[in-house]
Amino acid sequence: MKKLKSYWWQSHPDEEHGLAVVHYNIREAKSMAYSHWGSEIGFDDVEFTDQTIKWQKDVDLSKLKDKTPHVIDDYKEGLILGMYSFIEGENDCDKCGMCMDYVSQENVINDEIICDDCLEKGDSNE
Ligand SMILES: [Zn+2]
């Protein structure tokens, strides 16, 4: 049986941003990420030969909602699963609803994303 794996794709080795993608093998993951990037962002700044991809061995895919090959464009899900080390954009704190522009692994607690304010309050209550 084919098993899904988690991959980390970058348009260029020096690029900080990238895409998490789940697929059965690295070759198909690479072409899926590349065409997703092209349709969302454009091919202008990415050469096919510059792209890099690697297997993320430590990701537990059992909690993945969609078990078919796809690019993880639900960034919050990807962050919680550990595929993204940080995400940018508008994400709400699961405790207070405050909108955050930047969320890192430090904000992930028990499969929820928690803002820095709530994290501090949580600490002081203990
Ligand atoms: Zn909060």
Per-residue pLDDT, averaged over 111-120, amounts to 95
The tokens describing 78, both together, are 């990807």
List, as one string, the DSSP characters of 19-53. Answer: EEEEESSHHHHHHHHHHHHHHHT-STT--GGG-EE
Whole-number Å distance, alpha carbon 114 to ligand 1 midpoint, is: 5
Whole-number Å distance, alpha carbon 63 to ligand 1 midpoint, is: 24
Whole-number Å distance, alpha carbon 93 to ligand 1 midpoint, is: 5
Residues 55 and 99 in one domain: no
Print the domain residue range for 94.
74-126
**Cα gap 40→97, rounded to integer Å:** 28
pLDDT for residue 105: 96
What pLDDT, in 10s, does the model give residues 41-64?
887 777 888 999 999 999 999 999
Residues 86 and 40 in one domain: no
Whole-number Å distance, alpha carbon 104 to ligand 1 midpoint, is: 14
**Contact by Cβ (8 Å): 71, 19:** yes
Residues 98 and 119 in one domain: yes
Whole-number Å distance, alpha carbon 16 to ligand 1 midpoint, is: 27
Contact residues for 11 (Cβ-Cβ < 8 A; gap 6+): 17, 18, 37, 45, 46, 50, 51
